[in-house]
Amino acid sequence: YILRIVGTELLQNFSFVSRSSLASFLCALEAKYNSEVPYHSNAHAADCANSLEVMLSNSGQDINPLRTASCYIAALGHDVGHPGVNNAFMINSRHELAITYNDRSVLESFHAAELERLLGTVRVLALPKALEHKERQVRIAYILSTDMSKHMQDLADFRLKLGCKDFDPVGNVADHQLATMWLFRASDIAHSAKPWGIHRRWSMRVVQEFH
């Protein structure tokens, strides 16, 4: 029940989050994670969301509550339904999801769709339609950004951006979202920055899942 515990702690105090629906949403989301997958599990999702909360709280960024909640929800659902294989396997095996998503960020697209489908069923966010649409696009973008096949190129581009004199993650909206997205991506692989014992256990789970 770790996802439900962490998700409740992170989301329960936002005024636009329906407390009557939150427990149902988190329960349904956790149930969609595959209990037989060693790494991409409900525990990983909870760890990702918890790591993101620590990073956001210590980033110095002034992030509005709605965007913060979107970050947490995306983190909790960013690997929902993961089958325990990677995109290359899905593509090379001509899996139905690879065909559906045209071999592009197959699993990430699937995770984003599953999360948004659930949010459409369990109405946990009480928002105007236009605002909900905007935050939906943000959640999808965050989840799609976790495709590791794009990591090195995106990181190189981000380093160039950091070197620009006009880069302003505080005053510029686009730069602010870019910086927040990198905190989200960092939280997905944050175990590598944790004490050795924790990092080793997570790393062994990766090995068990993929090998």
What is the tens place of the pLDDT at every residue in 100-128? 999 999 999 999 999 999 999 999 999 99
Asked whether 74 and 142 are in contact (CB, 8 A), the reply is yes
- Looking at the chain, the whole-number percentage of residues with pLDDT higher than 70 is 100
The average confidence (pLDDT) of the chain is 95
Q: How far apart are CA 189 and CA 65, in angstroms?
A: 24
Q: Compute the half-sphere exposure of residue 62: CA atoms within 13 Å on the CB side of its CA.
A: 5
Q: Give catalytic residues, as residue numbers.
A: 40
Q: What's residue 61's pLDDT?
A: 82
- Measured CA to CA in angstroms, residue 74 lies from 81, 140, 141, 205 at distances of 14, 8, 9, 22
Query: By three-state DSSP, how is residue 125 classified?
Result: strand
Q: How far apart are CA 129 and CA 136, in angstroms?
A: 10
Q: Does pLDDT of 82 surpass 90? A: yes
Q: Does pLDDT of 45 surpass 90? A: yes
Q: Does pLDDT of 79 surpass 90? A: yes
Q: What's residue 211's pLDDT?
A: 83
Q: What's residue 170's pLDDT?
A: 86
Q: What's residue 130's pLDDT?
A: 93
- A 10 A CB-CB count for 58 gives 9
Question: CB-based contacts of 173: which residues, under 8 Å, 6+ apart?
Answer: none
Q: Among candidates 184, 187, 107, 181, which has minimal Cα distance to 149?
A: 107
Q: Does pLDDT of 83 surpass 90? A: yes
- Specify the pTM: 0.95
Helix (H) or strand (E) holding 42: helix 42-57
- A 10 A CB-CB count for 142 gives 26
Angle between the N-to-C axes of helices 2-11 and 42-57, in degrees from 0 to 180, rounded to the nearest 10 = 30
Q: Does pLDDT of 135 surpass 90? A: yes
